[in-house]
Amino acid sequence: SLPTSQSAADVADNLWNAFLAGRRAGVSRPFGHEAAVDGVDFFIDQGGADHYDELARRLHGYGAGVIWTATTRCSYPDHRLEKALATKVFDRIHVRMYGAGEIERRCVISSRYSWEKWAAAYPGSKVYIGLVASPEQDEAWVFQKDLYYEYLQFVTKLPNYGGLAVYDRYYDKKANYTGEG
């Protein structure tokens, strides 16, 4: 949670200078002084939604060349990210078609409809279908043939379809889900 605007400013400053392109003296860079990550993903699993919009705007305002993504829950809207997404600074939105909880289980039943709502709401962002690679990971696993017939033949025609975001690489390789194991 970000309890105040100052918290959002402090987190943005730390992320920029410790992990991204910032180089302020005295800030520890865990990956070394020459290394920088190429993006930040907003996934708010717990806590409130306050001030994440300010964090997104502040980080985006530091400069170009960084990929801004948000990982949302399937059901639209994701109240923890709603205000941050309204800033329209996100390049990519990964819509998780899996997850724990009764709401997510209901979402899986009508997930194409949910995903299409996300795509319509954020036409300026590439929207990805977030899937698990193995039934070991989550009960919402989708068999590849079902993925094509229930989703891909429809959603790939949308102008802001971004692709698949398969979680995670270990299970993808183990199950050969994407065929790139």
Establish if 168 belongs to a structural domain: yes
Establish if 180 belongs to a structural domain: no
Alpha-helical (H) ranges within the chain are 5-18, 52-61, 82-85, 102-109, 111-121, 144-147, 153-155, 169-175
Establish if 21 belongs to a structural domain: no
Residue 139, pLDDT score = 81
Domain count, the chain: 1
Establish if 120 belongs to a structural domain: yes
| Owner of token pair 């899986």 | 108
Establish if 92 belongs to a structural domain: yes
Establish if 97 belongs to a structural domain: yes
Residue 74 sits in a domain whose CATH number is: 3.20.20.80
- Domain span at residue 88? 38-175
Per the document, the length of the chain is 181
Instruction: Please give the chain's pLDDT, 181 residues, in tens.
Output: 999 999 999 999 999 999 999 989 999 999 998 999 999 999 998 899 999 999 999 999 998 789 999 999 888 889 999 999 999 999 999 998 887 655 555 565 467 788 889 999 999 999 999 989 998 888 888 888 988 888 888 889 999 999 999 998 999 999 999 887 5
Establish if 17 belongs to a structural domain: no
- pTM over the 0.85 mark: yes
Residue 115, pLDDT score = 83
- Phi/psi-derived region of residue 99, left when phi > 0, alpha when psi is between -120 and 50, beta in every other case: left
Distance between alpha carbon 157 and the CA centroid of its chain, in Å? 21
Establish if 32 belongs to a structural domain: no
Residue 108, pLDDT score = 56
Residue 140, pLDDT score = 81
